[in-house]
Amino acid sequence: MPHSPEENIAHMTEHDHFSRWMGIEILEVGKGSCSIRMKVKKDMLNGFGILHGGVSFAMADSALAFASNSHGRLSVALSNSITYPNPSKEGDELTAVAKEISLGFKTASYDINITNQEGKEVALFRGTVYRTSKPVIPDNTPQ
């Protein structure tokens, strides 16, 4: 029996140390989509006192992993691009929403938009994954 998107993502997050460090909270998951939340803390700031671009990327990348693996097939990022329309500061409450924009047999693409508590966009991310033939949750039954 195939696993649900919720089961697949629960399996992934169980050992996801960095998402835990970031304090990522999962609001909603579906087939090919998800919505997650995170609060910007001091340890995430760069030398200019704003959110380090790598942390907003990491948040988007986690959303990409959850959305693409929700189908149950282990999927790995092939390439990504990100732009930062507005900066983010300590205490901001960020929400990342992942949407599937194409789903092929071997690859799939996703848009992840991150907004702050005022609805202002802080990152626009687009990622393409390679869909392996392995399951997200290894079963005891032969594949």
Using CB under 8 A as the criterion, which residues of the chain lie in contact with a copy of itself when the complex forms?
Answer: 11-19, 21, 42-49, 52-55, 57-62, 65, 76-86, 101-102, 104, 106-107, 109, 121, 124, 126, 128, 130
Asked if 99 and 29 count as a contact pair (C-beta separation under 8 A), the reply is no
Least Cβ distance, residue 114 to a copy of itself (angstroms) = 12
Residue placing its CB nearer to a copy of itself in the complex, 97 or 124: 124
Tokens of 130: 């390679």
Least Cβ distance, residue 16 to a copy of itself (angstroms) = 4
**Residue 54 and residue 67: Cα distance in Å, rounded?**
20
Residue placing its CB nearer to a copy of itself in the complex, 35 or 50: 50
Least Cβ distance, residue 28 to a copy of itself (angstroms) = 18
Residue placing its CB nearer to a copy of itself in the complex, 15 or 139: 15
| Cβ-Cβ contacts under 8 Å for 76 (sequence gap 6 or more) | 129, 130, 132
Q: Which residue in 100, 71, 79, 61 sits closest to 9, CA to CA?
A: 71
Residue placing its CB nearer to a copy of itself in the complex, 30 or 90: 90
Least Cβ distance, residue 140 to a copy of itself (angstroms) = 19
| Cβ-Cβ contacts under 8 Å for 15 (sequence gap 6 or more) | none
Please say whether the dihedral angle defined by the alpha carbons of residues 62, 68, 73 and 75, taken in this order, is positive or negative.
Answer: negative
